[in-house]
Structure 1
Amino acid sequence: MMYKSIFFDLDDTLWDFSGNAYDSFSEVYAHYDFDQYFDSFDQFYSIYKEHNARLWIEYGNGNITKNELNRKRFFYPLQYVGVHDEDLAKSYSDDFFELIPTKSKLLPYAKEILEYLSGKYRLFILSNGFRELQFRKMTSAGINHYFEKVILSEDIQIHKPNPEIFYFALSATQSILSDSLMVGDSWEADIAGAKGVNMDQMFFNYSGMEELSFKPTYTIKSLKDILSIL
């Protein structure tokens, strides 16, 4: 086998973050009767997602702290519609964080692929997600037992795509760079990050991204495609 260690991103690579987040926000929106503030759930969620994406870039670049990220991203949609109630924002963010890790939706073929790879390769998670959530997500989805170790950006306060987190992951798992593969859906964090340390990459391009700045080692559009590669 060409590889011995396979590093997986978690959110939107294996665990369906987009779907689980949508479901969680929908439930919290209904619980707090946010129709009194927003025209619809879709309006609320589109406001949240757009601002959240910008804040995660700031967080990844080290410009804001984790606490600032969470405070700003949950408060912003309410501010946008003229509701300046920070206690309300804190309450619904607390409920969201309690709810989302209980969701178990995975990307199609995730369990089948992990079962196929298990025993053939050493499997690890390499994620920028929060420690208090990632382990609960994996347990809820029933995939935690496939992985020898979970490496999180919070372990060293450095985020993908910074080379240091990849070197840390290799060291922490006693993996060799030439025997390792990074699998992820984020072009910048997972694929460009891995290439930056000369680690082979598998780009899970389910969104159909077309303009790529380089050709990754592998590109897949479904996790099922892994069967014909590994």
Structure 2
Amino acid sequence: MSLPPEIPLLTGRPTTILFDLDDTLFDHTATARLALQSTATPLPFFRKVDFEPFYQRYSELLEEYHAQILAGRCSYEEARRGRFQRLLAQYWAAATEAEIEEFIRVNQANYPLLRRPVAGARALLQALKPHYRIGVVTNNRTEEQVEKLQFLEMTALVDALITSEEVGVPKPDPRIFHVALERLGARPEETVLVGDNWTADVLGARAVGIRPLWLNRFGAARPLAQVQEIAGFEPLADVLRKIQIPTA
């Protein structure tokens, strides 16, 4: 991912746009829901299970174990096994170790088959690319995120990928944002970060002087009124306007 030689400075507007990846450009939530539902539906235990609480519990465990991974307390494989063991212990108590392992294997196979971008994400990057530096700042493994951008056909639209694995700290640690700014040759005051996670993205960006634009796809309450938000990337013109002009 090479940086274009020159980006014209737009008076009163940003020169650099940073994006989160998971649940910002890549629709992890939709993919995870579909994969979990496809994995569980054929199994007898699932006939008596309400999917929404089942998925909600899965999401809670995913966040819990992801935090442990970022803190170095467990590996990705240990986290995956732990969250599925705890999930199925609650809903399928009679499951054997072999059945749990098979559930994990099938879910892993289903997930990549059902991946998709957040609606409008690629069109937004295409519109921004000729005029701005574009970076992705993500709390995940580099290899996985490189492959994800390739699958989403976004690699050529991104000038720099910065991962927590590479930097050694996750968002909202200021160091990962400073690495992104340095790599893109940008100043905080001319940079916008678009992300879905309030703590990692919004508060992390604000702490280093980057203007955040909160992607609030699920209608959560906005803790700070002065932070701009969008519900999605469509219509494109509305999103571009919020990125370019910092209004309340």
TM-score of Structure 1 vs Structure 2, range by shorter chain: 0.7 to 0.9
Q: Closer, same or farther in 2 for the Cα pair 1:168/1:108, shift >3 Å?
A: same
Partner of 1:182, secondary structure, is: strand
Contact conserved, 2:28 with 2:115, CA < 8 A, in 1?
Answer: no
Q: TM-score, normalised by structure 2?
A: 0.79
| Correspondence 1:75-224 to 2 at 5 A | 75-80=85-90, 81-83=92-94, 85-213=96-224, 215-216=226-227, 218-223=228-233, 224=236
Once residues 99 and 141 of structure 2 are traced to their aligned partners in structure 1, the CA distance between those partners, rounded to angstroms, is 22
Q: Deviations over 1:84-129 (max 9, x none)?
A: 6444434433443344234342222212211111111111111113
1:226 aligns with 2:226: no
Cα offset, 1:214, TM superposition:
6.0
Q: Do structure 1's residue 24 and structure 2's residue 70 form an aligned pair?
A: no
Are the equivalent residues in 2 in contact too, given 1:105–1:141 (CA < 8 A)? yes
The Cα offsets for residues 193-225 of structure 1, whole Å up to 9 and x where unpaired, read as 111111111111222222414622x32222233
Task: Please tell me whether residue 73 in structure 1 is matched to residue 86 in structure 2.
Answer: no
User: Which secondary structure does the structure 1 equivalent of 2:48 belong to?
Assistant: coil
- Amino-acid identity (%): 24
Partner of 1:50: 60
Number of aligned positions between the proteins:
227
Asked if 2 retains the 8 angstrom alpha-carbon contact of 1:202 and 1:219, the reply is: yes
Provide the rounded CA distance (Å) in 1 between the counterparts of 2:36 and 2:110: 9
Letter paired with 1:228:
R
Unpaired runs of at least 5, structure 1: none
DSSP-derived class of the 1:48 partner: helix
RMSD of aligned Cα (Å): 2.5
Deviation of 1:50 (Å): 2.9
With over 3 angstroms needed to count, the CA separation of the structure-2 counterparts of 1:87 and 1:125, relative to structure 1, is farther
What is the TM-score with the length of structure 1 in the denominator? 0.84
Structure 2 segments unaligned to the other structure (5+ residues): 1-9
| Deviation of the 1:19 alpha carbon | 0.9
